[in-house]
Amino acid sequence: MQTELSRTLGIEHALFGFTPFPAVAAAITRAGGLGVLGAVRYTAPDDLARDLDWMQAHTDGLPYGLDVVMPAKKVDGVTEADVEAMIPEGHRAFVRDTLAKHDVPDLPEGEASGWRITGWMEQVARGQLDVAFHYPIKLLANALGSPPPDVVARAHEHGVLVAALAGSARHARHHAAAGIDIVVAQGYEAGGHTGEIATMVLTPEVVDAVAPLPVLAAGGIGSGAQIAAGLALGAQGVWLGSLWLTTTEAELHSRALTAKLLAAGSGDTVRSRALTGKPARQLRTAWTDAWDDPAGPGPLPMPLQGLLVAEAVSRIQKYEVAPLLGTPVGQIVGRMTSERSVQQVVDDLTRGFEQAVDRIDRIAGRSAR
C-alpha cells in the first residue's frame, strides 16, 4: 500500500486515520499509517499540549498529524457569549422538553458540560495551532474547507503539508487554488460532515479536477478491497475515521454506545443537522428524529446548534440514555461488528488489500503473487 504520497510522508501504508483519541492516533502511526488527531474538542491549549506530549512519547518517532476546524473567512470580535445570545428561547425549550420526555437527569451541581463545540470557532482553532506548531506534526487537515491563507503559509513555513476535505469537485478546485497540498475526497457515506456525492463518483472527479495534487479517498471505506478500489480510482491513499470507533484503544467511555455501534447496520445512520447545524452523518436515534421532525423548530445554523445542544449531549452521554445515545459515524458501521485493536484492523486492511490486488491480477491474466 505504497504511493508517492506515503513515501513523501515516510509512512509504510497509504492509510490516514482520523480520530479524536490520542491512543488510537498513536496506534495507527505505530501500525504503519498516519494517525491524525482531531483537535476540535480541545478548548484549552494546555489540554492539547498534554495530549501531543503523550503522542510524542508513544509514536516511536514516526509521523502523525492534526485535524482542526476553522473557516476560511474570519469574523472579528465575536465571542462565544455573543453567539450564545443568538439562540432563540423556543429552541432552548425544545431541548428541555425532549430531555424531560426521556427522563434525562441534570448534570451534578457544579459539573460543566464535557462536550463543547467551541472548537468550531476560529479563535479557538488558532490557539490550537499555536500549540501544534511546537510539535513535529507532518500534516495539518482542515475539516471545514480551506483554512485561511495565513494558516496555510504558516504550516508551509513549518514544513507541514495541508489537507482539506472536499465533497465536490468544485470544492476541490477551490482548495487547489488556495494552495492546499492534499485534497480529501469525502463521499456521502462518510461519518460526520459530508456532502451528497458518493465516494465512487466523487473520487475520480476530484482526482481529475486537481491533478497533479494527491487525493485521499474517504467515505464508506473499511476493507482492503475498498482501499484497492480507492487507489484504482486515482487516489494516493485513503482517509478512515469511523472504523476506529470500536477499536480497543478508543475512549468512548460508554459500553452502551459501543454496543449500539457493534449492533448497527449500514442503514442505521442518517445525515442530520441535529448535532452541529450542518449535515453530519451519525447514528439515527430518537434525538436525531426529534430534530428532523417537521413539527419541531428544526436545527439552528452552525455554530448555534452545537452550543445549544452541548449540555444536552453531555447529559445523554453521562447517563447513557439509550434511545438518545449516538455519535457521528459513517455507513461503514455495518462492518464494525467486533472490538479489535488498531493493529488488528490495519492487519486486516493490508491483508484484504493484497487479496484484492491478487484477484485483479488474475482477472487481468497476470499471475498472482
DSSP state, 198? -
- Asked whether the predicted pLDDT for residue 317 surpasses 80, the reply is yes
Lowest-pLDDT range of 142-146, 205-209, 324-328, 361-365: 142-146
| Cα atoms in the Cβ-side hemisphere of radius 13 Å centred on 224 | 19
- Asked whether the predicted pLDDT for residue 328 surpasses 90, the reply is yes
pLDDT at 70: 78
**Distance from C-alpha of 344 to C-alpha of 224, rounded to nearest angstrom:** 13
Q: Which residue has the higher pLDDT, 70 or 208?
A: 208
Confidence of residue 81 (pLDDT cuts 50, 70, 90): confident
- Within 10 Å of residue 85's Cβ, how many Cβ atoms? 8
pLDDT at 145: 82
Lowest-pLDDT range of 143-147, 337-341, 346-350: 143-147
pLDDT at 361: 93
The domains of the chain, with CATH numbers, are: 4-74+117-249 (3.20.20.70)
pLDDT at 125: 83
What is the chain's mean pLDDT, rounded?
A: 93
**Distance from C-alpha of 340 to C-alpha of 243, rounded to nearest angstrom:** 10
Lowest-pLDDT range of 43-47, 128-132, 184-188, 202-206: 43-47
Q: DSSP states of 153-189 as a string? A: HHHHHTT-EEEEEESSHHHHHHHHHTT-SEEEEE-TT
What digits encode the pLDDT tens for the residues 265-282?
A: 999 999 999 998 989 999
pLDDT at 71: 63
Q: Could you tell me which of 3, 40, 1 has the C-alpha nearest to residue 18? A: 40
**Distance from C-alpha of 25 to C-alpha of 27, rounded to nearest angstrom:** 5
Lowest-pLDDT range of 76-90, 128-142, 194-208: 76-90
**Per-residue buried b or exposed e for 209-236, using 16+ beta carbons within 10 Å of the residue's own CB:** bbeebbbbbbbbbbbbbbbbbbbebbbb
- Asked whether the predicted pLDDT for residue 72 surpasses 80, the reply is no
Mean pLDDT of 30-45: 93
Lowest-pLDDT range of 12-21, 176-185, 309-318: 309-318
pLDDT at 55: 97
pLDDT at 268: 98
What digits encode the pLDDT tens for the residues 207-257?
A: 999 999 999 999 999 999 999 999 999 999 999 999 999 999 998 888 999
- Asked whether the predicted pLDDT for residue 2 surpasses 90, the reply is yes
What digits encode the pLDDT tens for the residues 97-142?
A: 999 999 999 999 878 766 555 555 677 888 999 999 999 999 999 9
pLDDT at 44: 86
Confidence of residue 161 (pLDDT cuts 50, 70, 90): very high
- Within 10 Å of residue 123's Cβ, how many Cβ atoms? 14
Measure the N-to-C terminal CA separation of the chain; round to a whole number of Å: 15
Mean pLDDT of 63-81: 73
| Residue located via cell numbers 449500539 | 260
